[in-house]
Structure 1
Amino acid sequence: MQHQPKLVIFDCDGVLVDSESIANEVGAAWISELGWQMDAAEARARFLGLSDAAMFAVIEQRIGRAITAEEIAQNHERITARFEAELQAIPSVALVLADLAARAIPMAVASSGERTKIFANLAKVGLLGYFGDQISSATEVAEAKPSPDVYLLAARKAGYAPCDCLAIEDSPNGVLAAVRAGMYVIGFARETPASALVDAGAHRIALTMPEILELLHAELGIAG
């Protein structure tokens, strides 16, 4: 067995909540309105795993001006409305969380999203109760992913050394962040190419949540 984690840390968008496709559709339309023509596929390729601040910086450099607070609010309102109407949990992730909870295995969240958005989205899909106050946001640290800061914060909040943590990530930037923090990483290749996650340093790859549960059982030494 390669690793015996004491804390399992989940990314949020694309791992717990199926938010990426909505955010990319809305974001691409908004960026196009700002003057940079883009579709959802390009938005995902360019911005997956980045914090909002990092994404805004890239857009501002491309369009040659600052994005106004009103424009940011407009995008936020559109995404929030779509989430309210359409957001769902990643298929079978509730089974993974319930299994870990039943075994009293500590869990946490480390996300590039804003803290209020993380809480709202997890509550919307019925997953918030699994994590209590063990939720860490890039807005709480100096540098967002691929910096390890948010993963180090999550480990520190829960009282575990980074080497005792296992992270589940769906973006290369997220994988890099967790690896740089010194954690064992399972790459979730539901939408991201597995090769990109491996190149970023993921130790194992899974395509579905049932596969992730199998890997977790193996790493935790759980038979069957």
Structure 2
Amino acid sequence: MVPPKLVIFDCDGILVDTENLANRRLAEWLSAAGYPTSFEFCRKHYSGRSMASVQKDIEAQTEVRLGADFVDCWNAGLPDLFAHGVEEIPFVRDFIEAVRVAGIAYCVATSARISKMHITLGQTGLLPLFEHAMFSSTMVARGKPFPDLFLHAAETMGFSPDDCIVIEDSVAGTQAGIAAGMRVFSYHGDAYSDRDGLIRAGGIPFDDMRSLAGLVPIN
């Protein structure tokens, strides 16, 4: 396997442990808005998705209307939600450091807004490692599972898709990376991860960040 020239990290669930916090609140919000659902459903179906795409899907499939201010209200509540309890994914810092020492370019590309990344990466001390290259789905027309975000990140960083790898944890993100023509390594270290879904989407599965250096040729 040829070493990558660019490593694209997802943020939530790959760099920082936020998916459970976010999806518990999302289930509460959606249920209160008239779309009864559970944490487990949200965790499986909405992880890795932008709130704009979640709202679009729900309103396209049901008669529920979440309101024009749904996304803005959600984002306004993130500082409080992530004020405490956000931790970095175990051992991911070691892999980032290995990539950096090898002289391989890297960035973060996520469905979340840049402001959210500043909160979550800031909480864990990872922000200084990624401030040089942060990409959000707000920068492109279509979020995950479409390839736009990863293609935008690669183009901006100056690399072709086949020179890039993506580190993801969601089915939507894995689908986006594969659609972009990139190799995708899909992390399922969380108890709620959809390992089978990640594999069906085309990802190379792994469940421990310590094993990633053995899967990705970076030396």
TM-score (norm 2): 0.91
The one-letter code matched in structure 2 to 1:111 is: T
Amino acid at match of 1:23: A
Is the CA contact (8 Å cut-off) linking 2:146 and 2:175 kept in structure 1? yes
Instruction: Look up the SS of the partner of 2:17 in the other structure.
Output: coil
**TM-score of the superposition, structure 1-length normalised?**
0.90
Which residue of the partner structure matches residue 50 of structure 1?
49
Q: What does residue 214 of structure 2 align with?
A: 214
**1:59, distance to aligned residue in structure 2 (A):** 3.1
Moved more, 10-19 or 118-127: 118-127
Stretches of structure 1 that go unaligned for 5 or more consecutive residues are none
Contact 2:95 2:213 in 1 (8 A): yes
**Equivalent-residue separation in structure 1 for 2:30 and 2:120 (angstroms):** 23
Correspondence for 1:137: 136
Separation in structure 2 between the aligned mates of residue 35 and residue 22 of structure 1, nearest angstrom = 21
Q: Which amino acid aligns with 2:205?
A: I
User: What is the CA distance between 1:74 and its match in structure 2?
Assistant: 4.2
Cα RMSD after superposing both structures: 1.7
Question: Unaligned stretches of 5+ in structure 2?
Answer: none
Matched-pair contact (CA < 8 Å) for 1:49–1:145:
yes
Q: Does 1:86 align with 2:85?
A: yes
Written as runs of structure 1 = structure 2, the 5 A alignment for 1:40-119 is 40-61=39-60, 62-69=62-69, 71-119=70-118
- Opposite residue 198 of structure 2, the aligned amino acid is L
Identity percentage of aligned residues: 33
Q: Secondary structure of 2:84's partner?
A: helix
Kindly provide the amino acid, as one letter, of the partner of residue 94 in structure 2: L
Provide the C-alpha distance between the structure 2 equivalents of 1:174 and 1:34, rounded to a whole number of angstroms.
27
Alpha carbons 1:146, 1:177 under 8 Å: kept: yes
Partner Cα separation in structure 1 for residue 63 and residue 123 of structure 2: 34
Aligned length: 216
Structure 1 residues 210 and 170, CA, compared in 2 at 3 Å: closer, same or farther? same
Give the 3-state SS of the residue equivalent to 1:186 in structure 2.
Answer: strand
Q: Which residue of 1 aligns with 2:198?
A: 197
State the 4+ residue runs in structure 1 displaced beyond 6 angstroms: none
Does structure 1 retain, via aligned residues, the 8 Å contact 2:33–2:66? no
Alignment check: 8 A CA contact 1:101 1:130 kept: no
Task: Write the letter of the residue equivalent to 1:210.
Answer: R
1:11: how far off?
A: 0.6
